[in-house]
Amino acid sequence: MLFTRIVMNTPLRFLLVDDEEPIRDLHAQILKMSYPECTVDDCSDGDEFLPLARKAREEVKPYTLYLTDNRMMRMNGLKALEILRKEGDKVPAIMTSGTPGEIPLSAYRDLAPFYVLDKPYTATRFKELVTAVLHLNRQNPSQ
């Protein structure tokens, strides 16, 4: 908790994107327990992801971090991030993936700042990666 207060001097805003509601709920619970003053929004696929990210950017209240699954109905996470990056969006993203090799190596370059969390993972691993990404991007902001 002390780390959160020292490193995080602005309100944290997370956007969770996953077609499985129980996963979104679990991630939201972990984030709210780890960062009690954070805001967590969620949606179920890339088609819903894009307008939420754009609206936040237009209102000059961009998200701190996107947490998205790759495989979802309608539009997957990779495609949504590709579109946002082409629009100049630089919000860091963590993508979960259940299939080894599913995320091309070029994504790490083209979608940066971009991180992958392979399934299966634990709540502890999820929290550790979120904390590390937040810390890295506070030291080297890309927005």
pLDDT above 90 covers a percentage of the chain that reads 77
pLDDT at 138: 79
Confidence class for position 20, pLDDT limits 50, 70, 90 = very high
User: 1 falls in which pLDDT band (50, 70, 90)?
Assistant: very low
d(CA 56, CA 110): 22
CA angle 127, 85, 114 (to 5 degrees): 30
| Per-residue pLDDT at 52 | 97
Contacts of 58 (CB under 8 A, 6+ apart): none
Question: What's the rounded Cα separation, in Å, for the pair 116 and 109?
Answer: 12
Query: pTM of this prediction?
Result: 0.89
- 27-78: per-residue pLDDT in tens? 999 999 999 999 999 999 999 999 999 999 999 999 999 999 999 888 899 9
pLDDT band at 116 (very low <50, low <70, confident <90, very high): very high
